[in-house]
Amino acid sequence: MLSFTEENYLKSLFQLTVESNEKVEAGTNEIAAHLGVKPASANDMLKKLKDKKLIHYEKYGKSTLTKEGRKYALEIVRKHRLWETFLYEKLEFSWDEVHEVAEQLEHIQSKKLIDKLDKFLNYPEVDPHGDAIPNAKGELEISQRKSLLEEEIGHACKMVGVKDNSAAFLQYVDSIGLSINQIIRIKAREEFDDLLEIEVNGKKNRVSPKFAENIIITCSECNRLRKN
């Protein structure tokens, strides 16, 4: 049985590697920053998790999850996202409130609880932020995702999530009329300042590259091409 803290380290490493588009391994400082602890603390824990064969770690090297570590991480991610879905769908929590509470609920230990919750929610595939929920076998559907910034001009895509989960950003997103499953069409990119002109529900908006980078989308037009 893993401690609350060990679980949080595995989840962080999962997010920084498996679920990251840029990297497949993470450095000690990076992990520490992600968890809000000092590098010395993270270093201690990395050695401990290596001893438990949950991560690959070598002195002065980058870290990754072992198969076993990934299994645990997926369980935590599954719990986190199912609880978020529960709070959103059943308890009238708003989009930007669910994460904080799910950070606690994800550590409740009961196989039966999480499988019954899954059933109660009718086996949802994505959480309120559009992130995929691992199934009971720990399989995570990897859909072809990218940020709005990377989308082709002229394409219509579907918003499936966000990268930044801060309440401030989520409220900004709401204010533009964006939400999960919303269709976004890229009209143009402004040469002068790189702002993207997008259309949401027939309404035009200009968004910054920083904003666009934090909106996750899938594009069926691009996916179709990619298949070949």
Partner DNA sequence: TATAATTGTTAGGCTAATCTAACAAATTTA
Partner DNA sequence: TAAATTTGTTAGATTAGCCTAACAATTATA
Binding site for Mn ion (CB under 5 A): 8, 99, 103
Among 3, 20, 29, 109, indicate the residue that binds its own copies (CB under 8 A). 109
Residue in the block written with tokens 């989840």? 11
Among 26, 74, 117, 216, indicate the residue that binds its own copies (CB under 8 A). 117
Check binding of 87 to its own copies (CB under 8 A): yes
Check binding of 91 to its own copies (CB under 8 A): yes
Provide the binding-site residues for DNA, judged by CB under 7 A: 3-6, 27-30, 35-41, 43-48, 57, 59-62
Give the Cα separation of 196 and 198 in Å (integer): 6
Name the helix (H) or strand (E) containing 46. Answer: helix 39-51
Check binding of 82 to its own copies (CB under 8 A): no
Q: How far is the CB of 116 from its own copies (least distance, A)?
A: 4
Are the beta carbons of 96 and 129 closer than 8 angstroms?
no
Check binding of 204 to its own copies (CB under 8 A): no
Check binding of 156 to its own copies (CB under 8 A): no
User: Considering only CA atoms, which of 173, 208, 172 is closest in space to residue 193?
Assistant: 208
Q: How far is the CB of 166 from Mn ion (least distance, A)?
A: 11
Residue in the block written with tokens 């949401």? 200
User: Considering only CA atoms, which of 136, 99, 98 is closest in space to residue 117?
Assistant: 136
Give the Cα separation of 58 and 106 in Å (integer): 29
What is the phi/psi pair of residue 163, to 5°? -90, -40
The count of residues interacting with its own copies (CB under 8 A) is: 18
Q: How far is the CB of 92 from its own copies (least distance, A)?
A: 6
Check binding of 113 to its own copies (CB under 8 A): yes
**Which spans of this chain sit near its own copies (rule: CB under 8 A)?**
87, 90-93, 97, 100-101, 104-105, 108-110, 112-113, 116-117, 120
